[in-house]
Amino acid sequence: MKDIKEKIQELSDQLNEHNRKYYVDSNPIISDYDFDMMMKELEALEKEYPQYKLPDSPTQRVGGFITSKFKQVKHEVPMISLANTYSQEEVVDFDTRLRKSIGDDFEYVCELKYDGLAISLIYEEGVLTTAITRGDGVVGDDVTANIKTINTIPLKLVGNYPKYLCVRGEIIMPHSSFIKLNVEKEEAGDQTFANPRNAASGTIKLQNSKEVAHRKLDFKLYSVTSDELTISNHYDSLKEARKWGFKISDFMAKCKSIDEVFDFIDYWDIHRKELDFDIDGIVVKINDFTLQEELGSTAKVPRWAIAYKFKAEAALTELLSVDYQVGRTGAITPVANLAPVQLAGTTVKRASLHNADIIEELDLHEHDFVYVEKGGEIIPKITGVELSKRKIDNKKIIFPEYCPACSAKLERNEGEAAHYCPNTKHCLPQIKGRIAHFTSRKAMNIANFGDETVSLLVDKNIIKDTADIYTLKYEDIFGLEREFHDEDNNFVRKISLKEKSTDNLIESIEESKKRAFYHVLFALGIRHIGETVSKKLTKYFKNIDNIINATFDDLIACDEIGEIIAGEIIEYFNDEDNIKLVDRLKSYGLTFSVDDLDSDNNFDDSKLKIDLKGKNVVVSGVFKNFSRDGIKDYLDSAGANVVSSISSKTDYVIAGENMGPAKLEKAKKLGVSILSENEIFE
């Protein structure tokens, strides 16, 4: 038993060290494959000998804890907020007050103000024991299991660390993780997040830590406190924290004068758009701990720090109306129609209101004048109402009780923000949405089967569901006239399906029968089942019958399948109509087993000269012999990590024609291996 215990300790120490070198130092010394093999060995040992599992075990990075309720924990030192200002004059006043109080012999530290979720981390004897959200500043939620999944938070410290340490910082979601998450939610028919901050906050409160791990959060440290610290200033305390295993921001500066502070502020007001995460301002702090203590705090804020917040570009415009869109899963999304207004270089006419809670929070009335910003410089959002322009007879906007399309009474699941139309079988937008999803590029990839074609075929009662697509004949389609509308739904033109278009559509329908099993499962449109989850399910269960017959426990045993997804799968296949639909699709020759078709491309493994397992690969450009999705599918099956953006961690770029010059230049600058289509399998 001693050998087992020592082996678990040894593997844990090695993996924690490799994790630090990869995520904190950006200097990995082993391959991803070797890391994964060590992790699997440790997982197996911990499963067999759970009594020897360590509190800082790196296996906690992958999550797996289910939390029914978060425990409330009191902060030993309250987490008070900083005084905020949007005015440079108020920053000058802050500087003037300090100089009157403590003289001129001090320096500031300027740091980025991260737009995320504040967290307090407690380390005892170098091991992370507790992670607490800010809460009300006095009491927060114990979210330790979720926090342990974040790779940039060390589970065990290294070096000469204090026995008891409190570290505070911000949990953020990088743009790359945010975009990926919203794509997955969109594909699964779920409501997307409005911005990375909401996504990070919502993620930390998830009850399944495995899902938290999947979302790839990050941690930005901004303070270190311990009675054992001998360091005299804030700047050096952060540098010391780097030695203990924390990833410290490179974007901070010591400033002697207020002019230097404004130079830092002005620089980041311009260059913040280049970051892979959101900041909403700059924090200015007195560096010296003794001076901080001398200045003290009010009941709400410290007197030795201030946060200068950047002004978001905003515009005032009239709210013309609110539409309520019905998605393929029945989710109702309110969309504000606005009088056109210029914002950040584009004309904005619409803004998503996301759900009923947002409408209520804004207290929206008909024809209000509203402030519109671009969240993260990307998504238009309404941030407020100009009440001075509201007319006395403007009626309050009330979220509908009934579906705008079929009049079914809307439902709202406990713990969810969205309302849903339960009339899945007869609500026309849901029917059309499911068919459009089924034919989409990442699903069955049926070309020329866009929204206009779907609407036309459904409205004319030519098809009623996805299986009917495979009954279409040439004479059903030829000569049909499709109407095209602009983004304001104004009629643009009418085009009839000619001989060539009809032939192409019939050919594309036939070709779709060759799509791999995971594409077909994704195409069914089961709620919460995106492309990634479809891959996990088909790889694990091998065929559709195994999925249909799987119990709840069978499903959650599959990687990344939690309680919610398992429930949705069981509910879907408990519906006899859905079973009949699958049977019909089977009869038309679609792939419902991984044995039927292992890949969408005819790649020959024997020619492969590069070990792709664990490698980070970017696919970019247009390819002659293979589809981009097909190449990604193959890379995935070969064990590679297909990533969207090039970084120092990228191993290969597979470059097709018309690859973006900026992306190509970045790959060359970083020394990433670039392969052409012809070189992939040489």
Residues noted as catalytic: 113
Sheet strand arrangement including 117-124 = 127-133, 117-124, 164-172, 218-225
DSSP state string for 546-584: HHHT--HHHHHTSTT--HHHHHHHHHHHTSHHHHHHHHH
- Cβ-count burial 232-257 (b if 16+ within 10 Å, e if not): ebbbebbebbeebbbbbeebbeebee
Q: Nearest CA to 157 among 241, 100, 80, 79?
A: 241
Q: Hey, how many other C-beta atoms are within 10 angstroms of the C-beta on 553?
A: 8
Residue 525 identity (one-letter amino acid): G
DSSP code, position 543: B
DSSP state string for 297-320: B-SSSBTTEEEEEPPPPEEEEEEE
Strand blocks (E) in 537-634? 616-620
What's the gap between Cα 350 and its chain centre?
A: 23
Coil, strand or helix at 78? coil
Coil, strand or helix at 380? strand
Compute the C-alpha angle 264/267/272, nearest 5°.
Answer: 115
Task: State how far the Cα of 645 lies from the Cα of 620, in Å rounded to an integer.
Answer: 10
Helix and strand counts by DSSP (H, E) for the chain: 23, 23
Contact yes or no for 519/629 (Cβ under 8 A): no
> What is the distance between the terminal CA atoms of the chain, rounded to a whole angstrom?
50
Tokens of 329: 């899963």
Residue 305 identity (one-letter amino acid): A
Compute the C-alpha angle 95/97/100, nearest 5°.
Answer: 110
Task: State how far the Cα of 189 lies from the Cα of 440, in Å rounded to an integer.
Answer: 13
What's the gap between Cα 393 and its chain centre?
A: 41
Tokens of 547: 């999925």
Tokens of 231: 């360091």
Task: State how far the Cα of 139 lies from the Cα of 74, in Å rounded to an integer.
Answer: 4
